[in-house]
Chains A and B, each alone.
Chain A
Amino acid sequence: MPEPLLSIKNLAVEFKTDDGIVQAVDDISYDVFPGETVGIVGESGSGKSVSTLSILGLIPQPPGRIVSGEAVFKGRDLLKLKKKELQRLRGDEVAMVFQDPMTSLNPVLRVGNQVGEAIKAHYPKESDDKVKERVIELLRLVGVPNPDVRYTQYPHEFSGGMRQRAMIAMAIANSPSLLIADEPTTALDVTIQAQVLEVLKTVQEETDAATILITHDLGIVAELCERVLVMYAGKIVEQGDVHTIFQNPRHPYTIGLMDSLPKLTEDEDWLRPIPGQPPSLINRPSGCAFHPRCFLSQGRLPCHTEVPPLRSTDVGEGHLSACHFAEELVGRRSKFAQPVGAS
């Protein structure tokens, strides 16, 4: 097996709020290998964004605080880097695409300048003309039409999809080896989503960057990712390659997520939403945080007394689940048994 590009171990992040301490990320570990695409899936508030923002020093501290853990990237622990070193890494070797392209671009600066800034920040000696040339080339790469005109326009003159393309151009400006896309299509119309995903795919092939794709949309995961992490209440509850997870899910939450999605290709009698709401991260339910909403638990004792460890299951070595009774799910198929990605 090759060296992982990024290796996160026992990361825990908490936020101090008026109501108490929020355990946003609770002791998670995972690896990302060069060139692969990893999906992180979960409901809002499951800690999926915080788990990546925190290692890049992008959560406000305070109220945020990294309690423990390490995040080794190319042999260096990001959590131990000095502010300046981390800053040099951001936007150069590790780049991010954010959720809302409406608010993620500065409304009073020209788009070209904002993309160029990403280059200038790391190569201050580069001449302005060169930077401009490169920015226009990048805009063309991500499919912005008339890039030399668009270069001088302001974000409000861009449509949502175009802004997200500009964001992607900004992220890949310095050919990062790790690209983190935080819900890159959530704020967009469905037709635009497909286009932006297309761009992400192209970019990935172009730069060969490893990608962490954070989303709540299993369809996107099926389409783009090779491996999946499912997060719930700040913990990883299931992890494995994308086919196994869709074919043989071993965590009731994963099954719930899949069953709550409509599937257009089949006759459907009902949707099965997961009952209840995501738990409060201040007073996390005892034992397995999912037990109050779980169809499998049936009130069994271990579910609310013991925190289930993330362990390998019957499916195979690389497949991990954090459910006491994962084996009971054998043979239980989700609606997604035929993976969408394969069609």
Chain B
Amino acid sequence: MLTFIVRRILYSIPVLIFSTFLSFVFVSLAGNPVALLNGNPRIPKNTIHLIEVQNHLNRSIPVRYVFWVRDLFTHKLGNSLLTFQPIWPDITRTLGHTAQVIIISETLAIVLGIVIGILSAIRQYSVFDYISTSFSFLGFAMPTFWLALLLQILFVDIYLKWNVRIFYTSGLNSPGQGTWSLDRLQHIALPVMTLCIISFAVYSRYMRASMLDVINIDYVRTARAKGLSDWHVIMRHVFRNALIPIVTVAALNIGGLLGGVIITETVFSLDGIGFYFLQKLQNGDLYAVMAYLVVTAVIIIVFNLIADILYGYLDPRIRYD
């Protein structure tokens, strides 16, 4: 198991190098930070030149990439070229906010999705199954931004009409309120709801399909032939086996989401890492964008690894050596 993990980590290093280099080339070509400075008449040409030299902007892109990798390790992802501020604190702060939203919404979605998925599989073609399947089809077809906007419009309307503040529709906190407060919960409720609905559609559908796949396999019949009760058959022989693919899906999904819920955070102006990325991309803040891409790539690789480990833990047929 340990050798497997080490090998996977070693294998992801070249992948990471290649993907960051590719992104670096892309991002460098996409935005020229000096052009922005050049556009500002109040900054003297000398200063701009100095900045160029200091940040190696006058060198070729591959050379700049090497300097950037050095900064990555020595200066914790380096400084922004536009604001000259260190990037690391921004990343940790925004990632924390994103994580808070993701953890709450995914926990809810997984629990709900699995329970509903099981129920609709064992009552296949019932009214309940029909309703929950329709709901998850709808969730699949729903653009995230539209769902987010609808929720926002709804709660803005409620506030304007009756002057009740149930949930806030943008931002993270009212002034003077902290991370673990009711106020925070009121702020992140709508983003959580948006993500929860979308993820729920994924999980419940997968769980239902997975249960139905397993329910028809011979060993379930064996279990029934042994005289186990329906409850035992479902819990011991169907649920456990059906869960295996879901765990992988969930781990990958959470990894992907931590990589930034760009749309949801943007709609609700939530100070998360996805919103951060979008703003920096719009400003052409090269190194901030790169920092984001590295961090999310690492997160995704880690969660891929977690998915594989969990898979092996749940399915004894998988061997890692």
Q: Is the CB of B316 within 8 A of A156?
A: yes
- Chain B residues with CB under 8 Å of A104's CB are 218-219, 221-222
Counting CB contacts under 8 A, is B64 at the interface? Answer: no
Closest B residue to A56 by beta carbon equals: B225
Chain B residues, Cβ within 8 Å of A90: 224-227
Contact with B along A38-72 (1 / 0, CB 8 A): 00000000000000000010101000000000000
- A103 pairs with B225, CB closer than 8 A: no
In residues 83-110 of chain A, which contact B (Cβ within 8 Å)?
A: 83, 87-92, 95-96, 98-100, 103-109
CB distance from B98 to the nearest CB of A (A): 34
Contact A98 B222 (CB under 8 A): yes
Task: Check A91/B227 contact, CB under 8 A, given A100-B218, A108-B314, A156-B316.
Answer: yes
Q: Is the CB of A107 within 8 A of B227?
A: no
**Chain B residue at smallest Cβ distance from A100:** B218
By the criterion of a CB under 8 Å from any partner CB, how many residues of chain B are at the interface?
24
B232 within 8 A of A: yes
Digitize A72-90: 1 where CB-to-B-CB distance is under 8 Å, 0 elsewhere.
0000000000010001111
Interface locus among B180-188, B235-243, B256-264: B235-243
Pick the interface stretch among A19-27, A117-125, A200-208, A245-253. A117-125
Contact of A154 with B237 in the complex, beta carbons under 8 Å: no
Closest chain A residue, CB of each to CB of B225: A96
Q: Judging by beta carbons under 8 Å apart, are A108 and B241 in contact? A: yes
- How far is A100 from B222 in the complex, measured between Cα atoms in Å? 11
A18 to nearest B CB, angstroms? 14
Residues in A with CB closer than 8 Å to B7 are: none
Q: Which residues of chain A come closer than 8 Å to B40, judged between CB atoms?
A: none
Cβ-defined contact, A108 with B315, below 8 A: yes
Query: Cβ of A106 and Cβ of B225 under 8 Å apart?
Result: no
Q: Cβ of B316: which chain A residues have Cβ within 8 Å of it?
A: 107-108, 154, 156
- Minimum CB distance partner of B220 in chain A: A106
Does A167 sit within 8 A of B, measured CB to CB? yes
Residue-wise interface mask of B (202-242) relative to A, using a CB-CB cutoff of 8 A (1 in contact, 0 not): 00000000000000111101111111111010001100110
Q: Judge whether B317 is part of the interface by a CB distance below 8 angstroms.
A: yes
Known: A58-B221, A90-B224. A106 touches B229 (CB 8 A): no
A121–B227 CB distance below 8 A: yes
Report whether over half of chain B's contact residues are helix, strand or loop; otherwise say mixed.
helix
CB-CB under 8 A from A92, the residues of chain B are 227
Give, as a whole number of angstroms, the nearest-CB distance from B213 to chain A: 12
A170 at the interface (CB under 8 A from B): yes
A95 CA / B228 CA spacing, docked (Å) = 12
Contact check, A122 vs B219: say whether CB atoms are below 8 A apart: no
Report whether A167 and B226 are in contact in the complex, using a CB–CB cutoff of 8 Å.
Answer: no
Chain B residues with Cβ under 8 A from A109's Cβ?
Answer: 236-237, 240
CB <8 Å contact, B224 and A58:
yes
B225, B232, B241, B315: which contacts A58 (Cβ < 8 A)?
B225
**Least Cβ distance of A54 to chain B in Å?**
13
Known interface pairs A121-B232, A154-B316, A156-B317. Does A105 touch B219 (Cβ–Cβ under 8 Å)? yes
CA distance A321 to B125 in the complex (A): 43
**Which of A99, A100, A117 has its CB near the most chain B CB atoms (within 10 A)?**
A117
CA gap between A58 and B223 in the complex, in Å: 10
**Which residues of A in the span 264-283 have a Cβ within 8 Å of any Cβ on B?**
none
Q: Which of B216, B219, B227, B232 contacts A106 (CB 8 A)?
A: B219
- Measured between C-beta atoms, what is the minimum distance from A182 to chain B in Å? 10
A326 to B10, CA, bound (A): 76
Closest Cβ–Cβ distance, residue A2 to chain B (whole Å): 27
B315 touches A170 (CB 8 A): no
Query: Given A100-B218, A103-B219 in contact, is the A108-B225 Cβ separation under 8 Å?
Result: no
Smallest Cβ-Cβ distance to B319: which chain A residue:
A156
Closest A residue to B227 by beta carbon equals: A91
Residues of A within 8 A of B225 (CB): 56, 58, 90-91, 95-96, 98
B318 to chain A, nearest CB (A): 10
Among B226, B236, B315, point to the contact of A91 (Cβ < 8 A): B226
Contacts of A96 in B (CB 8 A): 222, 225
A236 to chain B, nearest CB (A): 24
Residues of A close to B216: CB separation below 8 A: 60
Contact B224–A106 (Cβ < 8 Å): no
What chain A residues lie within 8 Å of B236 (beta carbons)?
Answer: 109, 117
Per the bound structure, the CA–CA distance linking A88 and B227 in Å amounts to 6
* B224 to chain A: closest residue by CB: A58
Q: Specify which chain B residues have a CB less than 8 angstroms from the CB of A83 in the assembled complex.
A: 230
Q: Tell me which residues across on chain B come within 8 A of A103, comparing CB atoms.
A: 217-219
10 more A-B residue pairs beyond the given contacts A108-B244, A118-B226, A156-B317, with a C-beta to C-beta distance below 8 A? A58-B221, A60-B216, A87-B224, A90-B225, A90-B226, A91-B226, A91-B228, A98-B221, A108-B317, A121-B232
Binding site for A on B (CB under 8 A): 216-219, 221-230, 232, 236-237, 240-241, 244, 314-317
The 8 residue pairs across chains A and B that have the minimum distance between CB atoms: A91-B227, A91-B226, A103-B218, A90-B227, A106-B219, A118-B226, A96-B225, A104-B218
List 8 interface pairs A-B (beta carbons < 8 Å), by A numbering. A96-B222, A105-B222, A107-B241, A109-B237, A109-B240, A121-B227, A121-B229, A121-B232
Q: Which residues of A contact B (CB under 8 A)?
A: 56, 58, 60, 83, 87-92, 95-96, 98-100, 103-109, 114, 117-118, 121-122, 154, 156, 167, 170
